[in-house]
Amino acid sequence: MKIALPMFASFLIAAPLLAQSTVPPEGVGDLPTKAMNLWQVVASGGPTMIPLGALSVITVMLVLIYLVTMRRGAVVSRRFMETATALIRKNDHLGLVAISNRHNEAAARILRRVMEFMTQNPGATLTEAREIAQTEGMRQASALNQQVSYLADIGTIAPMLGLLGTVMGIVQSFGVIAVDAAATRPTLLAQGIGEALIATATGLLIGIPAMAAYAFFRGRTQSMISEMEIATAQLMAQLSASTAQAEKSSDR
């Protein structure tokens, strides 16, 4: 009994302290109890998330478009080469112009420009025709390279926008120091730091895949340019041989 009385007294003294310790601090009860969903995470990234979201949509669209359009048939097709070869053997220049107009391959555009030059200038030499083909081929190759360079631009701009969001979030965090209400400082600091981290992560998540896609399509573009150059060189060689043979026949 003598031991129970001191234990009961100590319990009475400690009970208020235990009850006080279980009360949540001010402001903690207002915190969300559930994890944020994806939309809340994006919204908490600050204003830079708007252009980053636009860049992500553009990146996906460009990748899908390039997967469909960047193929060997876009620069040269077997059907066009067979038809053009047959017309060159017949010295049918007008037929070459017509078949070039009906096809949209890069090799067809090059041949169309060459044949238009030769029909408009009957006294033009084959050396001048090759220069026209080379110039048009360089223009077509530049257009192909320009297409994939958009992915490289996105891969550069997206991390920079993420860095801008980081700076804005850190500036917001430092601005909390001037707030008089000390109780709200931890929450505001967390918001600023969260905005900075989310913007940085989003910029990297967009920039890294964009650069990876650029590297992939750059290799495909170089392969397409090589196919175009081979096809153009083959057509010009056949045209040169056919023209030389026609000149020999006329001399006889």
Q: What is the pLDDT of residue 189?
A: 61
Question: Which has more pLDDT, 58 or 91?
Answer: 58
| Separation between Cα atoms, residue 121 and residue 128, nearest integer Å | 10
| Separation between Cα atoms, residue 137 and residue 131, nearest integer Å | 10
> Which residue type sits at 213?
A
The answer to whether position 34 is within a domain reads no
Give the count of domains, the chain: 1
The answer to whether position 168 is within a domain reads yes
The answer to whether position 197 is within a domain reads yes
Decide if pLDDT at 22 tops 50: no
Element (H, E) at 148: helix 126-175
The answer to whether position 204 is within a domain reads yes
Question: Which has more pLDDT, 99 or 193?
Answer: 99
Q: What's the mean per-residue pLDDT of the chain?
A: 77
| Separation between Cα atoms, residue 60 and residue 26, nearest integer Å | 46
| Separation between Cα atoms, residue 154 and residue 161, nearest integer Å | 10
The answer to whether position 37 is within a domain reads no
Read off the pLDDT of residues 35-59 as tens digits, 9 standing for 90 and up. Answer: 456 566 566 667 888 889 899 999 9
Q: Which two tokens stand for residue 44?
A: 């908490």
Q: What is the pLDDT of residue 40?
A: 62
Read off the pLDDT of residues 160-182 as tens digits, 9 standing for 90 and up. Answer: 998 888 888 777 766 665 555 55
The answer to whether position 219 is within a domain reads yes
Torsion of CA 35, 37, 43, 44, to 10 degrees: 20
User: For the chain, how far is it from start to end, CA to CA, in angstroms?
Assistant: 140
Q: Which domain holds residue 130?
A: 46-247
Crossing angle (nearest 10°) for helices 185-251 and 126-175: 180
pLDDT tier at 241, thresholds 50, 70, 90: confident
Q: What is the pLDDT of residue 179?
A: 57
The answer to whether position 84 is within a domain reads yes
pLDDT tier at 184, thresholds 50, 70, 90: low
SS3 100: helix
| Separation between Cα atoms, residue 252 and residue 229, nearest integer Å | 35
Name the DSSP class of 25: P
pLDDT tier at 33, thresholds 50, 70, 90: very low
Give percent of the chain above pLDDT 90. 27
Mean pLDDT of 91-107: 86
> For the residues of 111-134, what is the DSSP string, one character each?
HHHHHHHHHH-TT--HHHHHHHHH
Helices (H), strands (E): how many in the chain?
8, 0
Q: What is the pLDDT of residue 120?
A: 83
The answer to whether position 25 is within a domain reads no
Decide if pLDDT at 70 tops 70: yes
Decide if pLDDT at 107 tops 70: yes
